[in-house]
Amino acid sequence: MTTSTASRPKIAIVGYGSQGRAHALNLRDSGFDVTVGLRPGGPTEIKAKADGFTVKSPAEAVAGAEIVAVLTPDMVQAQLYRDVIEPNIAQGACLLFAHGFNVHYGQIAPRADLDVVLVAPKGPGALVRREYEIGRGVPSVYAVHQDTSGRAEEFALTYCGGIGGARQNAIKTTFKEETETDLFGEQAVLCGGATKLVQAGWETLVEAGYQPEVAYYECLHELKLIVDLFYEGGVTRMHEFISETAQYGALTRGTYVVDDNTKAQMRKVLTEIQDGTFARQWIAEYASGNANYKKLKQGDLDHPIEAVGKKLRANMKWLDTAPKAQTAAPAAPRGERQEEAA
């Protein structure tokens, strides 16, 4: 592949959801020639055009690019690669992902002539854009799966710099490490673990006769205060700002809930990620129409804590002006992986 310049390769962004839009805007503002690849008449085509981008069909966008960033949902990427990207991507181009799922689990086997890299911001698309606009950047990890040109790492770092990730000391990883740790964090701690912990705490208080509204504040609403402290300065900062009573209770009772059995179950979660059990289950679930996924998700949405929370939040007027999380976020805080299917 002959690049237009060493530092400004032509880039095609395939998908224009939370991450796709943020990456495209940041790259353009960094001086890159960016084309967005979307289905004609798709729901985000108007949005991308309104943002001033040249929008082409995915096949056309891919054909003219030196870096192709695949920012569509995990479960549509394999077919997208087979049907659109592989037949049209230029010889020697760089294929870029924001999550290693499909490459790591063998759903995509990239052509041997391509460089294959990963750049994964550790935050949702809106934050990636917002931090870039104020001169900062969301920390990112990057990896090289296939280095045909000898410049794959250069392309990954160039792209990472273009979206603002290199402003925060980008960390080199592997497709395996990024995929497995990302899935584990989602399942065991950030989404699966946190949701079940909150629901179990709320149920325990309500079943003991306490008001559901008070239980909501104690088990869900105030969690943000602690997470913000974690985010700002880790467990150390939390200890600096909570009362001694809270500290003593946390230190002496936390292991009642998260004990050796909890850690053993976490190891089980990790094992099923490492040996491909989770990937096989999710791929099969998606292929069969997502009936079980939809049932389980509806169970979360129908949990009584949600009705209580909706009522209480209606009176929290400050939420109307607070920065919103990604409404299209997947089972990951980032992801940012729920981009529009191209």
Residues 144, 222, single domain; the answer is no
Residues 168, 24, single domain; the answer is yes
Count of structural domains within the chain: 2
Residues 77, 215, single domain; the answer is no
Helices (H), 30-85: 45-50, 58-63, 74-80
Q: What is the pLDDT of residue 337?
A: 42
17 is in an annotated binding site: yes
237 is in an annotated binding site: no
* CA 159 from centre of chain: 17
Flag whether 305 is in a domain. yes
Which CATH number goes with the domain that contains 99?
3.40.50.720
222 is in an annotated binding site: yes
List active site positions: 99
pTM: 0.91
Range of the domain at 316: 190-258+290-320
- The answer to whether residue 1 scores a pLDDT higher than 60 is no
Residues 54, 105, single domain; the answer is yes
When computed from its CA atoms, the radius of gyration of the chain, rounded to whole angstroms, is 22
Residues 248, 165, single domain; the answer is no
Sorting pLDDT into bands at 50, 70 and 90, what band is 320?
A: confident
Strand, helix or coil for residue 135 = coil
- CA dist 175 and 152 (Å) reads 14
44 is in an annotated binding site: yes
Task: Give the angle subtended at the CA of 163 by the CAs of 110 and 180, to the nearest 5°.
Answer: 50
Token pair 């250069």 is found at 154
Query: Quick one: what percent of the chain has pLDDT higher than 70?
Result: 92
213 is in an annotated binding site: no
Token pair 């991450």 is found at 19
Mean pLDDT of 174-191: 98
Sorting pLDDT into bands at 50, 70 and 90, what band is 113?
A: very high
320 is in an annotated binding site: no
**Burial class of residue 314, CB neighbours in 10 A (0-12, 13-18, 19+):** exposed
Q: What is the pLDDT of residue 325?
A: 60
- Residue pair 16/24 in contact (Cβ under 8 Å)? The answer is yes
Residues 64, 152, single domain; the answer is yes
* pLDDT tens digits for range 198-251: 999 999 999 999 999 999 999 999 999 999 999 999 999 999 999 999 999 999
Render 73-104 in DSSP notation, one character per residue. -HHHHHHHIIIIIHHHSPTT-EEEESS-HHHH
